């Protein structure tokens, strides 16, 4: 991407101009005396032309000499990296020896240099720009970062220097980035109060080598948490309450069905947390029905297993109880965890990835129809109104969860029992064990 570096001595208004260009009021500025601010890079666009801007960093007021070598180093580094320079000078203070030093460095490059005479807060002060022609650059612009004055003219000149191939490449880059962002797995953690949702989230976020950041969600009080682990990106949805909870008790209100439902609808994968001490309760059945209703890929977590005797038969018993009670989510894998002892966390993360991948999987029509023939040979569909039910062929539709269109003779003849049989077998043969799949029956004549 075409790179524009904002250079100049301290306090001329580089970061103010940077912020003006990227359209934000404030960049990250470290106000610690004696400490240099790191360079800040942002992508932006002007008149639909994308480019990258770099604020080469600031230095504290006062002792400029001390920082001269540092300034030089910063700018010299940018001579190679950047394609164009905005050389900011201070129109209020006038030309200084340091400006001349910087000009010398910039003259070494064949790349375009635009001089921005900043702090021209009033058009009547425009004549202040003339002394800066002494720096030896043709293009000198009066600007006021604070009054937003002149910045448009400056940017008009910037984009004139950006070649078409750079614009094309940049647009491609932006598209690619968007695509990669789409691969963030959105996860909703649901369950009844006190099942251990907050504890589990904290245990996950505490995983080794994890990178965690807050992302404002769709509505005002929603905070999502972006989490990177093992090369995978997860976005935990509506985690404001879950993450604050360790400090403040928001009570049950915060975890209203409405909130759960919103997160659930947005999720790619739902993690349903159940308290091992209680097993699946009435409330859990209701939550699981929501998961089923929205055909969401899901994982059932039985948390607090540290509270149970650590014996195989005990663990199997609770698993069976949950499986039986939530029989309508046969595809959801069960993971046993202890948020308290941080057990089962890695396995949970792996399952989230696995479930997500299965939910996105596509099978070829050939493979699908071979599987179908195999299943039909196991058990033929029952008769319908005295006639044999027939499945001619099937095809997978776009999107997730996996959805299969079955062309049949009498769609209305396919009842729940046989549909379950088909679903379960398709899942097993085609490797969708952990994904909800959907079957749609259509009469052949309506093709
Ligand atoms: P940097 O060190 O070059 O990045 O400079 P800053 O952007 O931090 O600005 C230094 C000081 O100049 C701050 O106090 C700004 O408020 C002020 N400043 C920046 N731009 C303007 C401007 O256009 N007009 C006036 N009057 N002050 C400005
Ligand atoms: P939430 O309401 O679902 O977010 O549940 P919390 O995470 O606030 O946990 C509710 C209670 O269960 C708290 O007292 C936790 O300390 C406790 N808890 C959570 N996870 C575990 C666990 O794995 N083992 C044990 N023994 N207690 C847990």
Least confident of 270-284, 376-390, 433-447: 433-447
Q: 338 and 395 share a domain?
A: no
- What is the predicted pLDDT for the residue at 110? 87
Q: Does 279 share its domain with 378?
A: no
Q: Which helix (H) or strand (E) holds 320?
A: helix 312-325
Instruction: Determine the pLDDT at residue 260.
Output: 79
Residue 243 lies in a domain: yes
**Res. 66: pLDDT tops 70:** no
* Residue 175 lies inside a defined structural domain of this protein: no
Q: Is the CB of 16 under 6 A from ligand 1?
A: yes
Same domain (yes/no): 155, 88:
yes
* Cα 133 to ligand 1 centroid, rounded to whole Å: 21
> 197 CB under 6 A from ligand 2?
yes
Assess if residue 201 is contained within a domain. yes
Examine residue 394 and state whether it is found in any structural domain, yes or no.
yes
Indicate whether 140 and 194 sit together in one domain: no
Position 257 confidence tier, pLDDT thresholds 50, 70, 90: low
Domain boundary among 100, 130, 162: 162
How confident is the model at residue 217, as a pLDDT? 55
Percent of the chain with pLDDT strictly greater than 70: 83
Pairing state between β 387-388 and 383-384 = antiparallel
Spatial contact of 330 and 294, defined as CB atoms under 8 Å apart = no
The rounded distance, in Å, linking the Cα atoms of 276 and 338 is 9
Asked if residue 221 and residue 89 are part of one domain, the reply reads no
Same domain, 338 and 244: yes
Number of domains within the chain: 3
In the predicted structure, residue 180 carries a pLDDT above the cut 80: no
Task: Look up residue 3 and give its DSSP letter.
Answer: E
> Residue 377 pLDDT > 60, yes or no?
yes
Query: What is d(CA 286, CA 404) in angstroms, rounded to the nearest whole number?
Result: 27
User: Closest-lying ligand to the alpha carbon of 251?
Assistant: 2
Q: Decide if 173 is inside a domain.
A: no
Same domain, 20 and 37: yes
pLDDT for the residue numbered 28: 39
**96 within some domain:** yes
Mean pLDDT over 402-413 rounds to 91
CB 170 within 8 A of CB 51: yes
Residue 60 lies in a domain: yes
CA distance 43 to 435: 38
Q: How confident is the model at residue 32 (pLDDT cuts 50, 70, 90)?
A: very low
Q: How far is the CA of 264 from the centre of ligand 2 (A)?
A: 21
Residue 214's pLDDT band, with cuts at 50, 70 and 90, is: low
Residue 438 Cα to ligand 1 middle (Å):
60
* CA 118 to centroid of ligand 1, rounded, Å: 8
Answer yes or no: is pLDDT of 33 > 60.
no
In short, whether 56's Cβ falls inside 6 Å of ligand 2 is: no
Q: Which of 147-151, 181-185, 410-414 has the lowest mean pLDDT?
A: 181-185
Residue 211: what pLDDT? 64
Is ligand 2 within 6 A of the CB of residue 57? no
- Percent of the chain, pLDDT > 90? 48
- Among 218, 236, 444, residue whose Cα is nearest residue 349: 236
First-last CA distance in the chain: 48
Q: Which ligand is nearest to the CA of 241?
A: 2
Q: Are residues 333 and 399 in the same domain?
A: no
pLDDT reported for residue 86 = 97
Mean pLDDT score, 395-408: 85
Q: Is residue 323 part of a domain?
A: yes
Alpha carbons 396 and 439: distance in angstroms, whole number: 9
Q: Which residue has the tokens 């880059």?
A: 173
Q: What is the mean pLDDT of residues 323-331?
A: 94
Are residues 353 and 370 part of one domain? no
Q: Is 15 in the pocket of ligand 1 (CB under 6 A)?
A: yes
- Identify which ligand lies nearest to the alpha carbon of 343: 2
Cα-to-centroid distance, 31 and ligand 1 (Å): 14
Q: Which atom of ligand 2 is nearest to the CA of 195?
A: 3
Residue closest to 217 by CA, chosen among 242, 249, 199, 192: 242
**Residue 26 scores a pLDDT above 70:** no
Q: What pLDDT does 212 receive?
A: 66
| Of 82, 142, 77, 134, nearest in space to 112 by CA | 82
What confidence tier does 447 reach under pLDDT thresholds 50, 70, 90? very low
Mean pLDDT, the chain, rounded, equals 84
Domain boundary among 334, 359, 384: 359
The residues pairing with 408 across neighbouring beta strands, listed in sequence order, are 391, 443
- 320 and 233 within one domain: yes
> What single DSSP character describes residue 325?
H
Does residue 19 line the site of ligand 1, with CB under 6 A? no
What mean pLDDT comes out for the span 48-64?
71
Nearest residue by C-alpha to atom 11 in ligand 2: 194
Out of 191, 193, 194, 246, mutate this one to test ligand 2's pocket (max ligand atoms within 8 Å of CB): namely: 194
- Distance (angstroms) between ligand 2 centre and the Cα of 196 equals 4
CATH number at residue 302: 3.40.50.300
Nearest-angstrom CA–CA distance, 124 and 31: 33
Query: Do 213 and 344 lie in a common domain?
Result: yes
Range of the domain at 407: 365-443
Instruction: Supply angle C-alpha 19, 20, 21, rounded to 5.
Output: 90
CATH code at position 402: 3.30.300.20
Q: pLDDT confidence of 169, banded at 50, 70, 90?
A: confident
How many whole angstroms from 137 Cα to the centroid of ligand 1? 22
For the ranges 44-53, 71-80, 223-232, 380-389, the lowest mean pLDDT is seen at: 71-80
Q: Which residue has the higher pLDDT, 359 or 341?
A: 341
- Domain boundary (359, 385, 419) is at 359
| CA of 97 relative to ligand 2 center, distance in Å | 64
336, 188: one domain: yes
Q: Indicate left, alpha or beta for 92 from its phi (over 0: left) and psi (-120 to 50: alpha).
A: alpha
């Amino acid at each position: 991407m075409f790179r524009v570096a904002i250079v100049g001595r301290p306090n001329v208004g580089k970061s103010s101009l940077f912020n003006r260009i990227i359209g934000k009021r404030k960049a990250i500025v470290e106000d610690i005396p004696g400490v240099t601010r790191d360079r800040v890079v942002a992508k932006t666009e002007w008149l639909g032309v994308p480019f990258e801007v770099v604020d080469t960093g600031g230095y504290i007021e006062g002792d400029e000499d001390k920082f001269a070598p540092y300034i030089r180093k910063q700018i010299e580094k940018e001579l190679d990296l950047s394609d164009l320079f905005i050389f900011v000078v201070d129109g209020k203070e006038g030309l200084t020896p340091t400006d001349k030093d910087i000009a010398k460095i910039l003259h070494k490059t064949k790349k375009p240099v635009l001089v921005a005479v900043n702090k021209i807060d009033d058009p009547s002060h425009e004549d202040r720009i003339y002394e800066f022609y002494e720096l030896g650059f043709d293009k000198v612009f009066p600007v006021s970062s604070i009054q937003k004055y002149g910045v448009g003219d400056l940017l008009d000149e910037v984009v004139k220097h950006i070649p078409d191939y750079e614009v094309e490449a940049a647009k491609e880059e932006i598209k690619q980035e968007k695509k990669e962002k789409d691969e963030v797995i959105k996860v909703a953690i649901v369950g009844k109060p006190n099942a251990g949702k907050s504890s589990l989230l904290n245990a996950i976020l505490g995983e080794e080598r994890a990178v965690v950041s807050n992302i404002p969600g769709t509505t005002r009080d929603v905070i999502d948490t972006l989490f990177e682990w093992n090369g995978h990106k997860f976005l935990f949805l509506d985690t404001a309450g879950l993450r604050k909870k360790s400090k403040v008790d928001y009570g049950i209100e915060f975890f209203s069905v409405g909130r759960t439902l919103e997160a659930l609808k947005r999720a790619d994968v739902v993690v349903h947390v159940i308290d091992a001490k209680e097993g699946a309760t009435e409330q859990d059945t209701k939550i699981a029905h929501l998961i089923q209703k929205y055909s969401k890929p899901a994982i059932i977590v039985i948390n607090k297993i540290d509270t149970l005797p650590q014996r195989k038969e005990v663990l199997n018993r609770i698993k069976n109880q949950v499986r039986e009670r939530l029989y309508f989510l046969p595809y959801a894998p069960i993971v046993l965890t202890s948020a308290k002892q941080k057990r089962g966390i890695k396995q949970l993360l792996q399952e989230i990835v696995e479930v997500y991948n299965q939910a996105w999987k596509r099978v070829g029509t050939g493979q699908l129809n071979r599987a179908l023939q195999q299943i039909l040979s196991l058990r033929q569909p029952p008769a319908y109104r005295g006639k044999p039910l027939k499945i001619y062929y099937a095809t997978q539709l776009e999107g997730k969860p996996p959805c299969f269109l079955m062309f049949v003779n009498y769609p209305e003849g396919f009842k729940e029992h046989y549909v379950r049989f088909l679903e379960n077998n398709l899942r097993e043969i085609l490797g969708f064990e952990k994904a909800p799949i959907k079957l749609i029956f259509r009469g052949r004549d309506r093709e």
